[in-house]
Structures are given as structure tokens and as C-alpha cells.
Amino acid sequence: MAKASFIIYITLAVALLLLISHSSNNNSHHHRHRRLKVRSNFNFTPPTDPRHPHDRLSASAAAAFDPVVAEIERKREDKQWEHRYIQTHHPESTPTESPDHEWDDFASAEDYLNDEEKFNVTNRLLLLFPNIDIDPPDGYVSAAELTQWNLKQSQKEVLHRTQREMEVHDKNRDGFVTLAEYQPPSWVVNSDNNSFGYEMGWWKEEHFNASDVDGDGQLNITEFNDFLHPSDSTNHKLLEWLCKEEIRERDTDKDGKINYTEFYHGIYDLIRTHEGVQDSSHEYAVEAPAKTLFNQLDKDGDGYLSHIELLPVIQKIHPSELYYTQQQSEYIMQQADTDKDGRLSLTEMVENPYVFYSAVYDEDEDEDYDYHDEFR
């Protein structure tokens, strides 16, 4: 197996080099107006509502395709974050140098990415390809392999951000966050008490307890990551909590349950929007009326949805990271799968590098500008 795939790669690499030497003149104009840029995706707004982590950050949380680029962006984000942290938590300290002073670092990071001797996109794709083509390693990258890869990159990113948050909250630095250590994010403290259906006090504890899988009263990094990103969690208790929150928010007459009207105005649209890509085998929600789905979910047939009955669709109401990476993969396939066989060959990837690096390309005159907005 290993030997076979080795031979495949050598063959591909040789074919590729031939191809590149043949078409290098044509390709160069293709790249000229593109310049790789280091994104600044740090969000200066207060921590997001944990029930809607993606609604606000949207897919801007998506990680770079290339770990080298991700690393550069992460360093930049850390510096901005640090600066922001000092400003808000220690405003008395002498004004630290603004992030502008760091600019030189990033200008040189950008120069690095655009120095084709140092950062050759073709060589990067050559190098990454065997790490993506793993299930099975057959010389092609399938949509599923691409999704797995992108998901892995974004999970790394999310965990990194959680680690940073953990440093803020874990006051005694024992690697756990207790309820007492956790301060409500400022959007809760500052918002009027009812705007999110949140009231101070109780919600925090319920959310915290649901995240605390082993019930030892403190959250380790895994549990804290789930706490901050419930819809990406596999923790059943936490997903149930998310359902309860959803009901609280949608339940206009406050009877603790969702009737059809309340379902139709609000929840159903979200499900339908997130349905197609998420799971194309379940098309009922797209073709059939909302009523059918409601009746399907209403297991006991009492005409209302309880939080347990909402569980099967909660990750469609609050799409997970998986949903966004599937969308991203679908876009990439559509753009780079030149021969439309539903998978990417190494050649197809190398011939369409901007699809993988578009997030960091400066796309002034680029026809793919929409992608830039949609995914970043």
C-alpha cells in the first residue's frame, strides 16, 4: 500500500514538473495580480454569545488551508489580542505600543509568503497533498478528504482561541476553569437583562454544569472548548442545554414549548438554510412543508416541541464548524475540479492555487471576490 502510493506520488510529481515547465509562460500571467495577504481576522467585539458562536463570527473563524499561513495569522492574532487584553484589563498602564509597531513583522511575513523562492505555492500543494489524500490514499482528494482536512485546520484554530480564553479565566492557573473563576462576558453584563432571554445568574451555572462532563465542578480545556462552542460539541448534555436555550428564545408565549407557529417563524428557516449541504440525503425539509418536519419531530404528537424533541435538528439550527467546512469544500470542488469527476488530482490543485489560497490572496481584480466575503 505505502509503496503503491509512493509510486503514484512520484509519477504525479514528474508529470506535474513536465506540465509546469510546459505551461509556465501561460501560468505566470495568471498569478501576476495576486498577492498573498496575511488576514487579520481578530474580532475586536466582546466574546460572542456562546449559543450563537458562528452567527456572529460567521465563517470568518475558518482557518487557513495551509498550516504555514495559519501559523503566521495565529501569531498576528495573538499579538492583537494581547494588546487588546492589556488595554481593557490594565487601562492604567502606560499606553503600550500600538499594533502598528508590530506591522513590520507582518509586512515581512507577507513578503515571505510572496517570495516565490521561499514560499512556492506549487511546492506547498505538492507537500500537503499526501497529507490530505489519506482516506484512501489513491492519488485523488475527495470532497470528504478535503472537508476532513479543513475541519482539522479549523479545530486547531478554535482550540487555540480557547486556550487563550482559558489563560484569562483560569485565575489560579491550575488548568481548570471553575464557575467562580468564569466571569460573564461583557455583552451579558452590559446588555439589558432580557435582551437575550438571559437573566444574570442562573444561566451561567446551567451552561457550565452541562459542559462539565465528569461533574467535578471544573472545566478542563476540552470541556471549556465545548462550553464556548456548544454546537460543535458531542456532549449530549450540552446539546440539550442548547435546545433549552433555543426554546427559551423562540417561545414567544412563554409556555416552555414550541408550537407550530413558533417553529415556522424562526427555527424552520434556519434548518432549511443549513440543510442542503449538511446532509443531502435528508431532503424532506427542503421539498416538504415545514409541517411535515414539525410532525416528525413531535414524537409524542402533542402539537408542541419539547427541548428533547428539538435535539435531532439542533445542529442545523446552530450550524457547526463541520457545516462551514463542508460548504468551503463544496466551493473548492466546484472551482478546482476541472474535469468534473468529483475529486481533485494534484494537477487540478496546482493549476488552481488561488482556490486554496484565495483567502489570503489580495483579490483586487479577482473574479472570486464573493468568496472572499462569504468565507472570511
Phi, psi of 256 (to 5 degrees): 85, 0
The site string for ligand NAG over 259-278 (x = CB under 6 A, - otherwise) reads xxxx----------------
The verdict on 192 binding ligand NAG (CB under 6 A) reads yes
Query: Binding ligand NAG by CB under 6 A: which of 5, 60, 114, 122?
Result: 122
User: Least distance (Å) from Ca ion to the CB of residue 368?
Assistant: 19
Q: In sequence order, what are the residues at sequence separation of 6 or more whose Cβ sits closer than 8 angstroms to the Cβ of residue 370? A: none
Query: Binding Ca ion by CB under 5 A: which of 66, 133, 165, 226?
Result: 133
The verdict on 155 binding ligand NAG (CB under 6 A) reads no
Nearest to 51 by CA among 248, 190, 202: 248
Query: Binding ligand NAG by CB under 6 A: which of 92, 97, 100, 214?
Result: 214
Query: Binding Ca ion by CB under 5 A: which of 82, 110, 138, 374?
Result: 138
Query: 21 or 94: whose CB is closer to ligand NAG?
Result: 21
Residue 195 · residue 258 · CB < 8 Å: no
Q: Where are the beta strands (DSSP E) in the chain?
A: 35-36, 140-142, 177-178, 218-219, 343-345, 361-362
Query: Binding Ca ion by CB under 5 A: which of 66, 165, 275, 337?
Result: 337
Residue 162 · residue 228 · CB < 8 Å: yes
Q: In sequence order, what are the residues at sequence separation of 6 or more whose Cβ sits closer than 8 angstroms to the Cβ of residue 285? A: 268, 271, 272, 275, 293
Query: 297 or 344: whose CB is closer to Ca ion?
Result: 344
Q: Which does 309 bind (CB under 5 to 8 A by kind): ligand NAG, Ca ion, none?
A: none
User: Least distance (Å) from Ca ion to the CB of residue 280?
Assistant: 19
Query: Binding ligand NAG by CB under 6 A: which of 114, 155, 209, 296?
Result: 209
Distance CA 32, CA 178 (A): 53
Query: 13 or 288: whose CB is closer to Ca ion?
Result: 13
Please tell me whether residue 361 adopts helix, strand or coil conformation: strand
Nearest to 311 by CA among 212, 224, 244: 244
Site stretch for Ca ion (CB under 5 A), options 17-25, 108-116, 133-141, 367-375: 133-141
Q: In sequence order, what are the residues at sequence separation of 6 or more whose Cβ sits closer than 8 angstroms to the Cβ of residue 362? A: 34, 35, 36, 37
Distance CA 355, CA 348 (A): 11
* Positions in the binding site for Ca ion (CB under 5 A): 133, 138, 337, 339, 341, 343
* Positions in the binding site for ligand NAG (CB under 6 A): 20, 23, 26, 116, 120, 122-123, 192-193, 200, 205-206, 209, 213-215, 217, 220-223, 252-253, 259-262
